[in-house]
Structure 1
Amino acid sequence: MSADRELARDRAQALELAPALRPFVRELALYEALLRKWQKSINLVAPGTLPTLWTRHFADSAQVLERFPNVEKWADLGAGAGFPGMVLAICLRERPGAKVHLIESDQRKASFLRAVSRETGAPAEIHLGRIETELPKLEGSVDAVTARALAPLSQLVEWSRELLLKSTVGVFLKGEDWAIELTDSKVADNFQVRTFASRTHSSGRIIAIARDFGV
């Protein structure tokens, strides 16, 4: 199979896995082009994932919003290349008042994120700095905190604890070790926990954490 056909198949599969992406194909194509351009000088994603960029990164990110469709104000910790935060922002671009705050400590990656936000019109605000410094400033401004491939669950909860105790929801994408991380973190001792199967990784889970999910 040619590279172009492989990429087209990957895109089609992503749109099937995550229907929330479908209205924003043009914006995501701009995102893809920028990522491939910047990837030449900055290690934004693992090179081996580029042929499956749409399923591995775009669809994987979008499923977070599909699980929590009513959340419009997010904080993405250690945003990196923008997954899941920038994808969430693109999918929320037509909702008045929606905003995604992306926290990133690397100057070059923050510049990349600003370029993507500018070119796609995504309602994203980039915060250059460390999580423990920037996240407390967002208390009261976000309804959910998310992260992907960043740190163990215990660390994510520690960073987010003050917000989680005040009605913010944590929504974290985890891989095959999710059950071990969940046990080690002892998060269930203090918060309610819900887990959802990942659509893009057979052994992955989306772990949602809150003081009280309500009904």
Structure 2
Amino acid sequence: MAELPDVMLRRLALYEDLLRKWQSSINLIARSTLDDIWIRHFVDSLQVSSAAPQARRWVDLGSGGGFPGLVTAIRYADDPNAETHLIESDQRKCAFLRTVSRETGAGAIVHCGRIENIAPKLDAPFDAVSARALAPLPELLRYAEKFLEKGAVGVFSKGEQIEAELTGISAAANYQIASVASETSDSARLILVRRRVE
């Protein structure tokens, strides 16, 4: 990962401070990862947007504590062509996401509700759709189908079970699926999904 600009480092440091404060009342990340936030969460999330470097309009599914979607919004906070939508069903996590977005100037648009209720209402074109630790890949493809069908690239962070998930995909005929090594974990992969063009 290239060296990060100072303004982005300051925004991420503020994000870390807010996350640590809110973590005591809301389970935003696994407690075992609190001492390794920068690698396990920030760098891990930055590699998602790096995997689709031309993408500026993102929708993040099941944003939770903001990984990777809120980190993507922070990366492109000063780009007038960028827009990041976060979909999260938990009201308290939505409040956290809005707070971090406001305090860091990330400008993320937070949609509080279930993916199946929110996604159909998002009609603007998106360049990319992301998710991390949300669901098995076949389910992710169903959630992301609308965006993928309109030309977005899917960038999904997956762990050790990805080989079994890839084997079980019946929709593979409709998509080009590539697996890229993670920069932060030997057992993790980034799965890139694009609609197959006839």
* Contact 1:89/1:99 (<8 A) preserved: yes
Percent of counterpart pairs with the same letter?
53
Cα distance between partner residues in 2 of 1:141 and 1:109: 26
**Residue deviations 1:83-134 (CA, integer Å, cap 9, x gap):** 0000000001121121110001111000000000001100200000000011
* Contact 1:75/1:146 (<8 A) preserved: yes
User: When the two structures are superposed, what TM-score results if normalisation uses the length of structure 1?
Assistant: 0.87
Map 1:23-172 to 2 at 5 A: 23=6, 24-172=8-156
User: Per-residue deviation at 1:48?
Assistant: 0.7
Count of aligned positions: 197
Cα distance between partner residues in 1 of 2:89 and 2:11: 25
Cα distance between partner residues in 1 of 2:41 and 2:3: 14
* Contact 1:20/1:62 (<8 A) preserved: no
User: Per-residue deviation at 1:141?
Assistant: 3.1
Secondary structure, in 3 states, of the residue corresponding to 1:207? strand
User: Per-residue deviation at 1:20?
Assistant: 6.2
> For residue 154 of structure 1, what is the amino acid of its counterpart?
P
Displaced runs of 4 or more, over 3 A? 20-23
User: When the two structures are superposed, what TM-score results if normalisation uses the length of structure 2?
Assistant: 0.95
Q: 2:165 aligns with which of 181, 206, 209?
A: 181
**Residue deviations 1:142-171 (CA, integer Å, cap 9, x gap):** 211110001000100011112212212111
* Contact 2:52/2:128 (<8 A) preserved: no
Structure 2 residue aligned with 1:11: none
Structure 1 residue aligned with 2:174: 190
* Contact 1:89/1:124 (<8 A) preserved: yes
Cα distance between partner residues in 1 of 2:159 and 2:3: 22
Structure 1 residue aligned with 2:191: 207
Q: Which ranges of structure 1 fall in alignment gaps of 5 or more residues?
A: 1-17
Bigger Cα displacement from structure 2, 88-97 vs 51-60? 88-97
Structure 2 residue aligned with 1:19: 2
Cα distance between partner residues in 1 of 2:150 and 2:133: 25
Structure 2 residue aligned with 1:14: none
Q: CA RMSD in A?
A: 1.5
Q: Which ranges of structure 2 fall in alignment gaps of 5 or more residues?
A: none
